[in-house]
Amino acid sequence: MSKAKTLLSIETSCDETSMALLKANGTLKSPRFKILKNIVSSQIPIHRPFGGVVPNLAKREHLKNLPIVLRQILKTTNNKQQKTTIDYLAVTVGPGLEPALWTGINFAEELAKKLKKPLIGVNHMKGHLYSNWLPVRIEGIRNKVLGIRGKEKNSIIPDSKFIIPKIKFPAIALIVSGGHTILLHMTAINKWTKLGETLDDAAGEAFDKVARMLNLPYPGGPEIQKLAARGDPKAIKFPRPMLNKPGYEFSFSGLKTSVLYYLRDNPKVKKADVAASFQQAVIDVLVKKAIRATEEYRAKSVLLCGGVSANKQLRDNLRQMTNDLRLNFVVPDFEFNTDNAAMIAAAAYINLLQKNKKRLKIEAQGNLTI
C-alpha cells in the first residue's frame, strides 16, 4: 500500500470505551503508524463497587460514551488547518463480553454507512500483538534547539521523540491480559504458531483475584504492583506452576489457591509481602517460559503486550533477561498496554495489507482465538 491510510477504530470489548485515529503506511515488512488521537474512556469507577466488570453495566456505559468519544475524535479530523479524510473504519469483534462488543459493532456499522467507508472487523488479541508495532516514546530526551538568533542556540526544550520499533524475526510474543496468557513463536508479522496458553486463569485474572483476597479494589493488577513495591518478593515461597514441566502451557489457579490458604493460615502476615511474593511468582513463570522459548526457537526478539505488560517489575525482569542474552526487547508504551483502540487500527491495517486474507464477520464473537 503506497499511500498513507487513515483509520478510525473502535474498541468496546470490556470496560474501556476507546476510539483512535491512526495514520498508517508501509508494507508488511515495515508498517509505520502515527497516532493522531487515542481516547480511552474508562469505566473503572462504575464497576469497582462490584469487584469486577458487570457486562450489562459495561454495555450501558459504552452506549453513553461512544457518541461523546466520537465527537472528540471528529474534532481532530475537522481541524481547520489540516482536514483528515478517513479511509477505513475498524472495530473489535472479539474476544470479549458480547453485550459490550455489540455496542461497538452496531455503532461502527452505522458510522461506516454514514461515512460510506469500509468497515474491518478486528480480533482483540491481534490488536494486543500489533500494539508492539506502535511508535514508542523515548522519554526524557531534550532536544537542542538551534535557533536563528545566537541566544536561542543553546536553549534546551523538553521534548519527546518517537521511534518505530524494529522487530527482527524469529520472535517470541508473550500476550498477557485479563482474559488470556499466550506465547507465540513468530516467523513474520503475520505468521506464527501458538506455543502455549493458560490451562485455567489468565495472568491478569490471577492478579485481580489475589487483589480481591487482599481487599484491594478492581482492577487488581495495578493495586498489587503498588502494594508489592513495599514488600519483599522473597518473603513467601509461593509455587511457580508449570515452570519445570516441558512445553509452554501456563496455569495460575493453583498459585491463587496457595495465596488463599496462606492468608487463611497466617492472618497477621504483612500484606505487602504477600503481594510482592505473589507478583514475583507470576513473573518468574512468565519470564522463564518466554526465555526458554527464545532458546528453543533461536529468537532474535521478545515482544511483551496485553494489560499485564503494564507491570513494571515484569517489564524490568524481562528487559534484564533479554539484555543479558542480547535479544531485542519490545514493549508498548504504558498507554497501549491495557485496552485501547490504537492497537485495533494497527491490526486492521496489517489485515488490509494481506490481500487474500479472509475477513472476519462483523458480529460479536466472544470466544474468538488468535
With CB under 5 A as the contact rule, the residue among 339, 342, 349, 351 that binds Zn ion is 339
CB of 92 to Zn ion, least distance (A): 9
**Residues 6 or more apart in contact with residue 16 via CB below 8 angstroms:** 40, 41, 42, 43, 338, 339, 340
Of the candidates 69, 107, 13, the residue with the CA atom closest to the CA atom of residue 339? 13
Nearer to Zn ion by Cβ, of 127 and 231: the residue is 127
Please list, residue by residue across 186-210, b when 16 or more beta carbons sit within 10 angstroms of its beta carbon and e when fewer do. Answer: beebeebeebbbbeebbbbbbbbbb
Burial class for 362, CB neighbours closer than 10 Å (0-12, 13-18, 19+): middle
- CA gap 370, 365 in Å, rounded: 12
Which listed range, 66-74, 108-116, 158-166, 304-312, lies at the site for ligand KG4 (CB under 6 A)? 304-312
Question: Which positions from 149 through 178 interact with Zn ion, judged by CB under 5 A?
Answer: 177
Which of Zn ion, ligand KG4, none lies near 221, with the C-beta cut-off 5 to 8 A by kind? Answer: ligand KG4
CB of 191 to ligand KG4, least distance (A): 23
* 104 touching ligand KG4, by CB under 6 A: no
∠ CA 270-271-274, nearest 5°, is 100
Contact 341, 120 (CB under 8 A): no
Nearer to ligand KG4 by Cβ, of 6 and 131: the residue is 131
- Binding marks (x or -) toward ligand KG4, 32..71, rule CB under 6 A? ----------------------------------------
With CB under 6 A as the contact rule, the residue among 104, 135, 233, 306 that binds ligand KG4 is 306
HSE (CB half, 13 Å, CA atoms) of 338? 19
- CA gap 219, 222 in Å, rounded: 7
* 250 touching ligand KG4, by CB under 6 A: no
With CB under 6 A as the contact rule, the residue among 31, 104, 135, 219 that binds ligand KG4 is 219
Residue in the structure block whose three cell numbers are 470505551:
17
Number of residues binding to ligand KG4, judged by CB under 6 A: 19
Chain contacts with ligand KG4 (rule: CB under 6 A) = 14, 177-179, 204, 207-208, 219-222, 225, 306-308, 310-311, 338-339
